[in-house]
Amino acid sequence: MVGAGLTAGLVVAPGTAHAAPAPGPPAPFIENCPSWGARRPSSPVKIWDRRPIRILVHHTAGPNQRDVSRDAGRRTARSIQAYHMDHNGWLDSGQHFTISRGGFVLEGRFLSLGELNAGRRQVEGAHCTGQNVVAIGIENEGTYIGEGPPPKLWDSLRALCAYICFRYAIPPTELYGHRDYKNTICPGDRLYSMLPRLRSEVGAVLGRRVSRTEATRASWPLLRTGDSGPEVTAAQYLLRDAGATRGSVTGRFDEATADAVREFQSATKAEDVNGILGGESWPLLARTVSREGGLLLRGTGRYQGDAGRAVDTLVARRPLESTPDTVDAAAWQRLLGTGGAPVAEVSDPPGVANR
């Protein structure tokens, strides 16, 4: 149910997050929007009368600067807000919270902190289309493709996630990366690879043991120019199966393959037509392959067509694994080497503005 849209400023979140009366993790210090010099939102911030069910981790993709002071964190927050409002045309910062490289935690979108402390409602964000109400978005300052976040940022990320999970009753396993839902490198290869560790550590803060199986969630591989291997070969077969006319099956993700991905993204109306094969396009590309549908080549144990050749390519890499009669999304993920605990397919309700 949609709560009344509140005018930003009529409800001001406190500068420090206070722990709830019930036992729980210590609340990290969270600097509110007025304290870091935020501009007023250009229009009322909408609040939904529902709790989020997951957390999405992002990186800013900016420089890994050496200045880790509180003032540097404030400048980062102001820079993000200016870009989101002046370039993207959004009403405020898209993310709910920001963590600087120095480990300082700041409120992102107005009113997010107050609603978090109350633990009952959710501020509509603009950090990931389809996940702006059902998920809390956290921006982590820096770029984490080849290197991990600094210890102070990691410690604050763990503390903030634990507090959010506690206040909103979110399981510690429900922490994901931006790339799980979009065709993007965000939050970077290194930080994304640390999400199983983050789930386990947040669970420990909350007093819940998270097993290795629980900490590994089903996902899709992120493929882009320069990659190679069976996953790329399978993707190229699937692109051809989907009608993409560009590129060929070589096992190398070259510029022709990127063009084929862009062709597919345009045809499927992807939000970002960028040639990166990620969490938005994989579910549409990896269509269900069923033996009952006549795709199994009789007497050979192999599948027919380009989708079948994609299955064969991946099965050949794991000869000891059996292939189910129906290769659905979960089976594709397992064959691609990114299987894990199932993820609930929950998206934003109608009426989200995404700005």
DSSP 207-270: T----HHHHSB-----B-TT-BSHHHHHHHHHHHHTT--S----SB--HHHHHHHHHHHHHTT-
Return the closest-CA partner of residue 352 out of 120, 46, 66, 145. 46
**Segment 155-171 mean pLDDT:** 98
Please, are residues 236 and 217 in contact by the beta-carbon 8 Å criterion? no
Q: 133 and 262: one domain?
A: no
Higher pLDDT, 301 or 154: 154
Mean pLDDT, residues 184-212 taken together? 98
Residue 234 has pLDDT above 70, yes or no: yes
Claim to verify: residue 199 and residue 238 sit in the same structural domain: no
Q: How far apart are CA 249 and CA 233, in angstroms?
A: 6
CB-count burial class (<10 Å; 0-12, 13-18, 19+) for 322: exposed
Q: pLDDT digit string (tens) for 68-109?
A: 999 999 999 999 999 999 999 999 999 999 999 999 999 999
What is the span of the domain harbouring residue 244?
Answer: 230-335
Check whether residue 249 and residue 152 sit in a common domain: no
Provide the greatest CA pair distance for the chain.
71
> For residue 127, what pLDDT is reported?
98
Same domain, 181 and 272: no
Looking at residue 247, what is its pLDDT? 79
- State the total domains in the chain: 2
**Judgement on whether residues 44 and 145 belong to the same structural domain of the protein:** yes
Q: What per-residue confidence (pLDDT) applies to 2?
A: 28
What CATH number does residue 97 fall under? 3.40.80.10
H or E segment at 7?
none
d(CA 150, CA 179): 21
Domain boundary among 215, 249, 266: 215
Residue 290 domain flag: yes
Separation between Cα atoms, residue 50 and residue 47, nearest integer Å: 9
Closest CA to 96 of 82, 79, 73, 80: 80
| Residue 323 pLDDT level (bands cut at 50, 70, 90) | confident
Give the pLDDT band (50/70/90) at residue 4. Answer: very low
Residue-wise pLDDT for 237-296, tens only, equals 999 999 997 878 999 999 999 999 999 999 999 999 999 999 999 999 999 988 755 444
Q: Residue 223 has which token pair? A: 């493929």
Helices 151-168, 195-205: crossing angle, 10 deg rounding:
60
**89 and 181 part of one domain:** yes
Residues 160 and 239 in one domain: no
Q: Are 144 and 83 part of one and the same domain?
A: yes
> For residue 34, what is the DSSP state?
G
pLDDT bin (cut points 50, 70, 90) of residue 321 is: low
CA-to-CA separations, 271 to 143, 152, 255, 278, in angstroms, rounded: 22, 33, 20, 12
Does residue 207 share a domain with residue 62?
Answer: yes
